[in-house]
Each structure stands twice: as C-alpha cells, then as structure tokens.
C-alpha cells in the first residue's frame, strides 16, 4: 500500500500562479456583500457564473476540440481553491466541471458535439446532477427512479432530492434504474445515465420544487411523473450508468477538496488578521495560545491535506488510479476547512455572528463538505474495505 515511485515523483504538481492571479482578479469583483445578498435572497450567482464562463474557467476541463480550455484537473483544482480562498463559492462551477465528465467520457460523438461547445460557451448550463433520493440516500444502487424504454423514448418515474441548481440549469444528468434490482446480477448493474433537457421537460412530467436549506445552494426536489425523454438522451450504454457516475467521482472529490483548501486558507487569513488587530486586556488576542494554536493547527492540517489532494490530482492527470488519494484528500481537506472555520469562529468571538464579517456564512457553507457530495463515513468505509482490506461494514 506504500506510494509507488510514480506517485512520489509526480506528487506536487504545478502551482499555476497565472491561473491563481486571473481567478483572484475575477473574484475581486464579487466581494462579501455580493454573496451575503445572494445568501439572504437564496439567489443564484448569475453575475459570478457569467464572469467565470466569459473567462473560460468554467470550461476548464472540456477539451479544446469541443470549445473548452482542456486544462488538467490540477489546474481546475487551482481555480476552485482560488475561488474559495477569495471568499467566493464555486458550487455552480464545480458541478458543471465534473458532471460534464460523464458526457465527455461516455457520451456519443454526436452528444459531445451537440452539447459540450455550448456548455463551454455558457449557452447551456449542465449544473444539475440527479442521484440522491429521499428514501435510499447513500445506498445509491437501491435508488427507485425508473426509466422504462418505450419505442424511441424512455418513460421516467420517481423522485430526487437535494438536486442542486435544477432550476438554473438547462440540462440534468440523471441516474435512474432501467433494469429492476431483482433482475440484475450485481446491484451496480441496471442503472443508466440520461441527459435530461430540463427546459423541454418542465410541466410535461418534470416538476422542480425549491428546498430551503442552511446554505444558499439552490437545492431542489425533483419529481418525475411519466416524463418522456428521447432514447437519444441515454449517455453511454444502458445499464452501465453507475460505473459512469463512479468514474466521475474522483474528479468530483479532487475539486471539492480543493474548494475546502481554499475555505481553510480564507478562514486562516481572516483569523490571523483579526487576531492581530483585536486588542483585549491590552494585547492582541493572537498573543494568547488559546487563540493562536487552533489557527496554527488548522494551518498544519491544511498543508498536509493539500499534499494528498495534489497527489490525487497528479495521479488523475497521469491516468493512474487515484481513488484512495481522491477520497482521503476530500476527507482531510473537508476536516481541515472545518477546523479552520471553528478557529476563525472562536477568534472573532461575538463578531463571528455578525453577518458583515462573512465568517458565519463561510462556516455554514464549509460544513457541507463533510456530508456532501459524499459523507465522511462513506469515505472511511471505502478506505477500510477497499484500501485496507477489512470486511464491508454494512
């Protein structure tokens, strides 16, 4: 289980200072007030997404031949990290980056030519990913949404929950069961991925209801009631959808982990600055070990997590198996961000609760990553079973 030579020699990866600088410049136009206002109105970051799309960053992982910039996952993670480090939120962008991967890797040439250039240019948004269901949760292979083939169409029935940005997206990547669980050899068989045209489906068997949440993530519940979608909406082969989705998960983990690193660094910078300025008992509060040490510890955790995330990205970009590192990186980075958030909360004291400092908003936002897109327990069970060879615990 030790790191192979390949892993060690490609561990660190490029830092892409030019990308960082360009992302920082864009983010400077979207300060705390912008996000606070969206948060209160539960609104979608239209202006921010437009600016990122215009700069080409939203199409970072789309190959040049399909109108994107064809960057590496390392470069894409630098974009995500810098967005979060600047106090912004990349949710709308990360989704597009990794959902698109399923289409890119498994879609037909015609699907790729039809959709990818428009996704890269911002003409179409593919920011909705319908996997989670209310009754089955993390037990994805038991999901109940069915897609039944009828001639040139599939008829979809079922329900999704927590489908982020379904109301702001033109397209949704949907995971549905095409062969009943009782009829497949392996639980992972018989699930299929579809590219659903949301605009064409609304009111014709597709209903989307907003789901109010602790953070502004534009989350929704999605209902399918005899929705007819063309058979051409199927991505890849029928019945192999679970594998396609799994395929994209390493990219998702790496990008999310990069966002966590950005959050951690934002919290640490804020906490250090405030602790240096805030004078209580005639001295800066940063002089107290009780304030200084949690920040220093979160910093150490962040630096350590970054190494694992970078290794995951390097392996991914080299086309090597990165499951272990992508999962560990996401776990470690989400915890580092949370600890940094907690340190910042404590450092700001009562002012952490004042909305104008953005600490409470970021603190709420960064809490998500220990639960979604995959919860920490599920990562630990993956490591325990698939990396360490212990029995499946559930």
Ligand X SMILES: Cc1cc2nc3c(=O)[nH]c(=O)nc-3n(C[C@H](O)[C@H](O)[C@H](O)COP(=O)(O)OP(=O)(O)OC[C@H]3O[C@@H](n4cnc5c(N)ncnc54)[C@H](O)[C@@H]3O)c2cc1C
CB of 193 to ligand X, least distance (A): 12
Q: Does 122 bind ligand X (CB under 6 A)?
A: no
Q: Does 131 bind ligand X (CB under 6 A)?
A: yes
**Contact (Cβ atoms closer than 8 angstroms) between residue 264 and residue 337:** yes
Q: Residue 72 or residue 96: which is nearer to ligand X going by CB?
A: 96
**Contact (Cβ atoms closer than 8 angstroms) between residue 115 and residue 76:** no
Range in contact with ligand X (rule: CB under 6 A) among 141-149, 224-232, 310-318, 373-381 = 373-381
Its sign, for the CA torsion 211, 214, 217, 218, is positive
Q: Residue 217 or residue 339: which is nearer to ligand X going by CB?
A: 217
The rounded distance, in Å, linking the Cα atoms of 165 and 384 is: 33
Q: Residue 113 or residue 167: which is nearer to ligand X going by CB?
A: 167
The rounded distance, in Å, linking the Cα atoms of 372 and 256 is: 9
Per-residue x/- track, 179-218, ligand X (CB under 6 A): ----------------------------------x---x-
Number of residues that bind ligand X (CB under 6 A): 22
Range in contact with ligand X (rule: CB under 6 A) among 49-57, 282-290, 319-327, 375-383 = 375-383
Instruction: Tell me the residue number closest to ligand X, measured at CB.
Output: 137
Of 102, 97, 81, nearest to 49 (Cα)? 97
**Contact (Cβ atoms closer than 8 angstroms) between residue 103 and residue 157:** no
Residues 133-152 binding ligand X (CB under 6 A) are 137-138
Whole-angstrom Cα Rg for the chain: 21
Of 153, 151, 145, nearest to 192 (Cα)? 145
Q: Does 377 bind ligand X (CB under 6 A)?
A: yes
Strands 279-280 and 126-130: unpaired
Range in contact with ligand X (rule: CB under 6 A) among 7-15, 225-233, 330-338, 374-382 = 374-382
Q: Is the peptide bond before 373 cis (omega within 30 degrees of 0)?
A: yes
Residues that bind ligand X (CB under 6 A): 129-132, 137-138, 162-164, 213, 217, 219, 368, 371-375, 377-378, 381, 394
């Amino acid at each position: 289980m030790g790191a192979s030579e390949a892993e060690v020699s490609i561990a660190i990866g490029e830092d892409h200072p030019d990308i960082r600088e360009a992302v920082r410049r864009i983010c400077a136009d979207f300060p705390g007030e912008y996000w606070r206002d969206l948060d209160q109105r539960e609104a979608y970051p239209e202006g921010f997404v437009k600016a990122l799309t215009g700069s080409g960053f939203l199409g970072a992982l789309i190959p040049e031949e399909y109108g994107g910039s064809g960057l590496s996952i390392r470069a894409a993670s630098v974009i995500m990290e810098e967005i979060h480090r600047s106090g912004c939120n990349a949710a709308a962008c990360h989704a597009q980056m990794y959902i698109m991967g399923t289409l890119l890797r498994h879609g037909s040439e015609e699907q790729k030519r039809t959709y990818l250039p428009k996704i890269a240019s911002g003409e179409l948004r593919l920011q909705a990913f319908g996997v989670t269901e209310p009754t089955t949760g993390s037990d994805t292979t038991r999901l109940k949404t069915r897609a039944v083939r009828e001639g040139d169409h599939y008829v979809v029935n079922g329900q999704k929950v927590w489908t982020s940005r379904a109301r702001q997206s033109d397209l949704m990547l949907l995971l549905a069961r095409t062969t009943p669980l009782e009829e497949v050899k392996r639980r992972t068989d018989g699930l299929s991925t579809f590219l659903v045209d949301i605009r064409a489906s609304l009111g014709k068997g597709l209903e989307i209801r907003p789901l109010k949440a602790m953070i502004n993530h534009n989350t929704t519940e999605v209902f399918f009631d005899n929705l007819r979608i063309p058979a051409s909406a199927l991505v890849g082969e029928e019945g192999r959808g679970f594998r396609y989705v799994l395929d994209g998960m390493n990219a998702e983990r790496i990008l999310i982990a990069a966002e966590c690193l950005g959050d951690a660094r934002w919290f640490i910078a804020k906490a250090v600055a405030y602790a240096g300025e805030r004078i209580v008992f005639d001295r800066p509060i940063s002089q107290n070990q009780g304030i200084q040490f949690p920040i220093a510890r979160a910093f150490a955790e962040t630096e350590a997590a970054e190494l694992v995330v970078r290794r995951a990205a390097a392996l991914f970009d080299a086309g090597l198996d990165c499951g272990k590192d992508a999962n560990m990186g996401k776990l470690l980075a989400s915890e580092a961000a949370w600890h940094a958030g907690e340190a910042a909360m404590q450092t700001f004291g009562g002012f952490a609760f004042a909305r104008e400092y953005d600490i409470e908003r970021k603190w709420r936002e960064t809490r998500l990553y220990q639960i979604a897109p995959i919860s920490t327990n599920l990562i630990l069970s993956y490591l325990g079973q698939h990396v360490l060879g212990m029995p499946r615990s559930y």
